[in-house]
Amino acid sequence: MRNFDSPQRSSRVYVFSIFIIVSFLIIVIGFFNLQVIKHHYYLEVSLNNVIRPVKLNPVRGLIFDKNKRILVDNRPSFSVALIPAHVTRQTIRQISDRFRIDEKSIRIKLRRASKFQPVVIARDVPKKQVIYLEENQYFLPGLEVIPDFKRYYPPDVNSPHVFGYIGEVSPEEQKKHPEYDLGDMIGKTGLERYYDLDLRGTKGVRYVRVDASGKILGDYDPQLNEQPIHGSDLYLYMDYNLQKFGESLLEGHRGALVAIDVRNGGIIALVSKPDYDIRSLSGKIDPQIWSNLIKNPNHPLFSRAIQSTYPPGSTYKIVAALAALQEKIITPQWKAFCPGYFRLGRRVIRCWNPNGHGWLDLYGAIKNSCNVYFYQLGLKIGLPVWSKYSKLLGFGKKTGIDLPGEKAGLVPTVAYFNRIYGEHGWTKGNLANLAIGQGELLVTPLQLAQFAMIIANKGLYYEPHLVDHLYNYQTHKVMSFPVKARYVKGIYSEYFDVVREGMHEVVNGGTGWLGKVPGIDMAGKTGTAQNPHGDPHAWFMGFAPYKHPEVAIAVMLENAGSGGGHAAPIARKFLEMYFYHKLIPRPVVKKDSLKTESDLNPIQTVPIDSLRPMPLIH
């Protein structure tokens, strides 16, 4: 018999068997990879070929004032988006030509997104363009027209430094905040940024059927859809009539006005001038307008109330007074003689009054804002004590207001001077300057308004805040924010009484008499801060009423001259409106009509005497 099991045949069978086994393993591994390891990926791809989830943008929360008047609203808008998985070169070319957008920038945007994520290419698209695109959508694969919104402001509402504006999230912002999707509109400045996560709401989703080119054929299963949730509405503490009036007082100036309710820290007004038309940054932003705002030498994008820092001038003499009293360096009766100048070594420092003030105690020095008195007092206090009490009274650190970008200012210390000038490079002259609010010392108008609140309440103060409460549409509940009370520890109430009395005399025959509100007992302090780049900055801070304080105020005018002659009258006018405005009965606004413009309160105007020509007063 012939032997069929030859070695050659056995070898071929062996190789063939190995081939079959390997092929089978490859198929098994492939199926395992397809069905198990990459199950979710291929499921998503297959579903997106038939079913696609479309994210639905929620309505952004509105902003109201304390009288439930709408200050920031929304209006419908349309955006054009492209789906990377379905878009063609022809679509990109047509969108580029129609909206004058560089093709390269479109492709860069598309590469950053996932395959089936709509990438917004153009916003605030005119209605005619929307109609054209929808009519030709069949010939533009990967194109989607998305219902969107843009911010709307009633005609007499502006205040861009308070509200801020929204813009498309940048790649850097998205990395820091994974909750944002590429193309989301987020708050960039102001309240829009600080409360963005509350205002933005929660996105919904709609499942639709699509064809191979990505064209939407209709809903897949309406029961699977999730409706977006309206963003929370913000309710401010301020009455916008007063904010608007404060803005009118600073028209034509560079400066700031801040008014705070000393009973809870609520912001009554926060004004910065010059500003810009908030509507110019709503919706599609014109590159030329943005370029002009950036290059404007008056820096209208900058909030002077919280971001600009200045030497506070004589308003800061109150800090030196409190430090000297608490450390028992002087008593209120301690006197110094002012001949109109002060000799410090070979240097002669002039008082603002060249004729001098004669002998003055602390009350008289505050009332007349005598530089010579406080030069001498500053030298007696010393830099370490002065720095300690400056920080104790809230300077050199942020107030914590609910706005982004707040500056902390600067309180010089021994370590700071040693670092800047060297251990023996600074002199007593530096300290004398600091005692009268000059030199390296820097504060914001908001910090000075907070300081006025501290004095009014004898050491008790509250964290300044714009928002009083919000309405959450998800929980259908009002969320109130706790008022954060703080205390200045280490200064006795009796010493606050001393400086309060001195400030009382300032507006009753002293340097701040032009800041006194008729019929209202109040206190204040003027300041004229020397400026090496031009005319002095004018300051005034105060509070009213004197015995039962309600409101603290700080006014700063860049290069305006004397505080008593220019800043004080503006503070007076604002306080006149504040106390007059309290007497105006407020209309009752029905809850179901809050969002109709016909129910909004118009700006109240009150005839007040125009400013008289002002003499030069410190």
Whether domain 240-291+308-599 has CATH 3.40.710.10:
yes
Non-local (6+) Cβ contacts of 392 within 8 A are 488, 489, 490, 491
Residue 299 Rama label (left phi>0; alpha psi -120 to 50; beta): left
Separation of alpha carbons 523 and 542, rounded Å:
5
**CATH numeric code, 52-234:** 3.90.1310.10
pTM: 0.84
Residue boundaries of the structural domains of the chain: 52-234, 240-291+308-599
Q: In Å, what is the CA distance from 571 to each residue of 122, 403, 517, 536, 575?
A: 46, 23, 9, 18, 6
For the beta carbon of residue 325, count every other beta carbon within 10 angstroms: 22
pLDDT of residue 336: 94
The amino acid present at 316, given as its one-letter code, is Y
Separation of alpha carbons 591 and 469, rounded Å:
16
Under the banding of pLDDT at 50, 70 and 90, the label for residue 42 is low
Question: Between 563 and 86, where is the model more confident?
Answer: 563
Q: Is 194:402 a contact under the CB 8 Å cutoff? A: yes
Over residues 177-236, the pLDDT tens digits come to 888 888 888 999 999 999 999 999 998 888 877 766 666 677 777 888 889 999 999 999
**pLDDT mean over 344-370:** 90
Separation of alpha carbons 560 and 570, rounded Å:
12
Q: Is 233:95 a contact under the CB 8 Å cutoff? A: no
Separation of alpha carbons 75 and 124, rounded Å:
10
Separation of alpha carbons 147 and 309, rounded Å:
43
Is residue 34 over pLDDT 70?
no
Question: Between 138 and 552, where is the model more confident?
Answer: 552
Question: Between 89 and 504, where is the model more confident?
Answer: 504
Over residues 568-599, the pLDDT tens digits come to 999 999 999 999 877 655 544 444 444 333 33
Non-local (6+) Cβ contacts of 194 within 8 A are 164, 187, 402, 403, 404
